[in-house]
Amino acid sequence: MGITPGVKSDMSEKKPFNFALFWDKYGTFFILAIIVVIFGSLSPEYFLTTNNITQILVQSSVTVLIGMGEFFAILVAGIDLSVGAILALSGMVTAKLMLAGIDPILAALIGGVLVGGALGAINGCLVNWTGLHPFIITLGTNAIFRGITLVISDANSVYGFSFDFVNFFAASVIGIPVPVIFSLSVALLLWFLTTRLRLGRNIYALGGNKNSAYYSGIDVKFHILVVFIISGICAGLAGVVSTARLGAAEPLAGMGFETYAIASAIIGGTSFFGGKGRIFSVVIGGLIIGTINNGLNILQVQTYYQLVVMGGLIIAAVALDRLISK
């Protein structure tokens, strides 16, 4: 069949370039690449070494874990401000269990998964029962969980537990540090949940429009509970990794980490308004946070200025999201 003169075929038509879609897919990678180029130019003899890159990946593993948990809370247009306190309490319980003679791996599973999941469930139940915004609930539970950590530790560091636990997380498999493998394994599981399971699709629908999700037959309260349990488990696992890396459980561990978690999710393209985001973009967001912290440390910039940079990145990322959406 011939083509009518003057009429272009569908095959010959090219879709116009859509910057919003392009940025949504690849923007986070460009941000990371630009940051690496900047720090690599400022300190090529230290920043671009193999040892330092490995260190960035290991340091970012905790940020990636709590960022992925925060991602789910933000995905339903909520937030979880208690991730730092959950990290500390889970790590403290893990250390206490090991000192009580529990097998290190079993203690890590109990401390990370069960304690973190239980604390996340408390957040989810309170949000559902009170009807208050997650900001208010998790602001309160952040203080409660931190207080419990200080009480059970008597405000002291807990150390002296099994070196098998510390050595396990300090080891490498085919050159890849265990904390990196650990965080990437969690990312794969959460990617599968969000892309291949109905539960994940329902969470996206809930974040996109809560009322529409409700009238579509989605159990809103159940999915809110699941979201905060996932956030709690990720923070709990981050607490286990942090305790292993430090060789001690610190009662003030994770202070301010909610900022890093939120920044990882938002810089990774997760919309503060819900219903939009991808797990592996959050992983890149966590790497961006780790790269910035590492680069500023190498340049001997004080820690206080790092907080200024994090705050500015959050504001810039949200503003850019709104601008590109328009």
Q: How far is CA 141 from CA 50, 63, 80, 122, 146, in A?
A: 40, 20, 10, 9, 8
Predicted pLDDT of residue 31? 86
Predicted pLDDT of residue 54? 95
Amino acid symbol at 244:
A
Residues 192-221: what's their mean pLDDT?
95
pLDDT tens digit string along 297-315? 998 888 778 788 878 877 8
Predicted pLDDT of residue 326? 65
Q: How many CA atoms lie within 13 A of 183 on its CB side?
A: 31
The band of 98, judged by pLDDT with boundaries at 50, 70 and 90, is: very high
- Alpha carbon 223 to its chain's center: 19
Strand stretches in 128-200, DSSP E: 158-159, 172-173, 176-177
Residues 188-196: what's their mean pLDDT?
97
Report the percentage of the chain scoring pLDDT > 90: 70
Residue, of 49 and 6, whose pLDDT is higher: 49
Q: Is the pLDDT of residue 5 over 70?
A: no
Q: Is the pLDDT of residue 262 over 70?
A: yes
Predicted pLDDT of residue 13? 60
